[in-house]
Structure formats: C-alpha cells, structure tokens
C-alpha cells in the first residue's frame, strides 16, 4: 500500500512539473535577472565593443539590439534541442556554425529591408558571431536547459544588452548631433543663440564614459553588485 501511495505521489509530482506555466515565476526570473543583477554589459562586462562602435545613432543601436536578440534567441533554442546529440569535444564548432548561419540570415534580411542601416553598421553585424554574450549564454545556459527556458534566456539577455545600447545612443546622438532616431530635436533657435553640438559625444571614448556612469548608477542603487577588494 505504501509503495502504491509513493508511486501515485510521484506521478502527481511529475504531472505538476509538466504543467508549469510558460511564464512561471522561475521563467520570469530568467528574463528579469539580465536586466539588473546579471546585465551582460554593466555586470558581466561583455559586448563592450559594440557599445562603443554603433551607439552614435539610436537607429543603429535598435537594429543591432534586435539583430542580437534574433540570433541569441534562435541560437539558444537550436543548441538546446541539439544538446544531447552534439559530442562535447566539438560543441564550440557547432555553436559557431549555428551562430554564423543565423548572423548571415540576419545580415541578408537587413540588406533587403534596411540597406542604409546595414551599410552603416558595416562589419559589426558580422561580428555578432564572436559576441561574448551569445557564446557565453550558449555555453552557460542553452547546453543545460530545455528549449523554452533557453529561448527566454536569449530574449532576456539580448533585451538587457539592447537597453544599454539604446540608453548610450540616446545621449550620444542627442548631445552629439542634436537629433534622435535621425530627426532633429534641438530647435534651430538654440543654435542661433549660440548652442553647439558636443563633438566629444560622437567619439568612442564618450561611449565608454557613459557605460561607466551607468555602471556607477546601477551599483549605487544595487549595492550587492559592488565588488569587495
């Protein structure tokens, strides 16, 4: 009798696990953590190169963020599906092939629907292949989790990466050229009164300074992120 009760309890627990909502508390945490405690740029200090290179304009930052999101989400799902079929010794090669294929598809789509932006981004779209954030999530998460959590992890990390890019781009484009998303927002009257755009804002060092300021603000708000020497 006791054995039967244990068996019934095991079946019930298995069914409960299978009925876990798509956006359960655990799955929501997978998306939310990268926005703060595990932000790939401000906490893990990954993807800095693109933060410096393509944040002169908000449009470029948005396109790069969406491109990375597509590649990361799809890459995570594919690697998760193949995690038990790919030999451990060639997993890095397989990951690179999958990411490279996805990046090529994204690049071709960009050239077809947003050629000017694709041209402005130049080689940086191709460099998504070697983005540390993508390879890191494939290794740290997708290889050990099911497709749906892996998809959410890709979306969460890419969104967190994109938010930082867009914040930096807003400040650089606004104060560097007086525009936002390519539209002039600083009135001509300001220029007539002597206002001048800050040329420093469109130089790469300013992007690094802005990222540093974001890191400072984040750690001031969330003190547990402060490293102890």
Q: Is residue 6 part of a domain?
A: no
Number of structural domains the chain divides into: 1
**Helix residue spans in 91-131 (DSSP H):** 91-113, 115-121
Least confident of 21-25, 37-41, 217-221: 21-25
Q: Is residue 25 part of a domain?
A: no
Q: Is residue 94 part of a domain?
A: yes
Q: Is residue 203 part of a domain?
A: yes
* Those residues with Cβ within 8 angstroms of residue 212's Cβ, 6 or more apart along the chain or in another chain: none
Q: How confident is the model at residue 76 (pLDDT cuts 50, 70, 90)?
A: very high
Query: DSSP assignment of 47-87, as one string?
Result: -HHHHHHS-SSHHHHHHHHHHHHHHHHHHHHHHHHHTTTS-
| Region 83-91 average pLDDT | 89
Q: Using CA of residue 77, residue 78, residue 79, residue 84, what is the dihedral sign?
A: positive
The CA dihedral of 34, 40, 45, 48, to the nearest 10 degrees, is: -140
What residue numbers bound the domain in which 126 lies? Answer: 38-219
| Backbone angles phi and psi of 183, in degrees to 5 | -100, 135
Q: Report pLDDT for 44.
A: 82
Q: Is the pLDDT of residue 18 over 50?
A: yes
Whether 110 contacts 95, CB under 8 Å: no
Q: What is the percentage of the chain residues whose pLDDT exceeds 70? A: 90
Q: Is residue 229 part of a domain?
A: no
pLDDT per residue over 142-186, tens digit each?
988 899 999 999 999 999 999 999 999 999 999 999 999 888 998
Q: Is residue 214 part of a domain?
A: yes
Q: Is residue 121 part of a domain?
A: yes
| Region 122-137 average pLDDT | 79
Least confident of 8-17, 42-51, 128-137: 8-17
Q: Is residue 76 part of a domain?
A: yes
Q: Report pLDDT for 12.
A: 47
Q: Per DSSP, what are the bridge partners of residue 183? A: 180
Q: Report pLDDT for 114.
A: 80
């Amino acid at each position: 009798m006791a054995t039967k009760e244990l068996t019934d309890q095991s079946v019930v627990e298995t069914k409960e696990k299978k009925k876990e909502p798509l956006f359960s508390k655990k799955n929501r945490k997978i998306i939310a953590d990268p926005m703060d405690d595990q932000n790939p740029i401000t906490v893990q200090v990954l993807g800095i190169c693109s933060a410096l290179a393509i944040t002169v304009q908000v449009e470029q930052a948005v396109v790069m963020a969406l491109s990375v999101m597509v590649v990361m989400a799809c890459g995570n799902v594919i690697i998760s599906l193949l995690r038990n079929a790919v030999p451990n010794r060639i997993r890095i090669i397989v990951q690179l092939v999958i990411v490279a294929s996805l990046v090529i598809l994204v690049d071709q789509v960009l050239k077809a629907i947003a050629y000017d932006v694709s041209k402005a981004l130049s080689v940086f779209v191709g460099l998504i292949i070697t983005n540390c954030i993508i390879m890191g999530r494939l290794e740290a998460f997708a290889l050990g989790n099911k497709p749906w959590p892996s998809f959410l992890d890709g979306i969460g990390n890419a969104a967190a990466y994109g938010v930082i890019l867009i914040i930096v781009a807003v400040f650089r484009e606004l104060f560097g050229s007086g525009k936002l998303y390519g539209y002039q927002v600083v009135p001509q009257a300001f220029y007539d009164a002597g206002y001048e755009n800050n040329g420093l804002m469109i130089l790469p060092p300013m992007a690094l300074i802005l990222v540093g300021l974001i890191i400072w603000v984040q750690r001031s708000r969330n003190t547990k992120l402060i490293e102890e020497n």
